[in-house]
Structure 1
């Protein structure tokens, strides 16, 4: 699930996953963090879900995927689209 908050020059995207699926550590990687695993790890929230918020400049299209323990890559179903390799968002 994605949560979006708009400001004048940027959009804050909160990437949200259930607490237990997939198990283990998960990070979101994309062109906004040079595809660096672990740069944006999801942390447990009070409601039990895991999340991380990333600020992205407005008027951009960004590509991303999730990376879980064991080199398990997966996409976000609620992204704006999928290009065959990655999920993407339009900001």
Structure 2
């Protein structure tokens, strides 16, 4: 069983409590189409304070090398929306 599968299984069978280790820090996610382990949005929202989520049309595990313009724009958008 992979890490994400285990985490999803555990979160489904034992819902997180307030002290489950989540964070209130504003979080931005850039989910690239061909990443090796796609970020599960519903699961991520349970533990992170997701302020910005971008599903990228291309790119993979090495997104900064493969699609630097897309990544930079996603980061800029996150900070513009989070720092108001």
Q: TM (normalized to structure 2)?
A: 0.24
- Structure number with the higher helix fraction is 2
- Structure number with the higher strand fraction is 1
Bigger Rg over Cα: 2
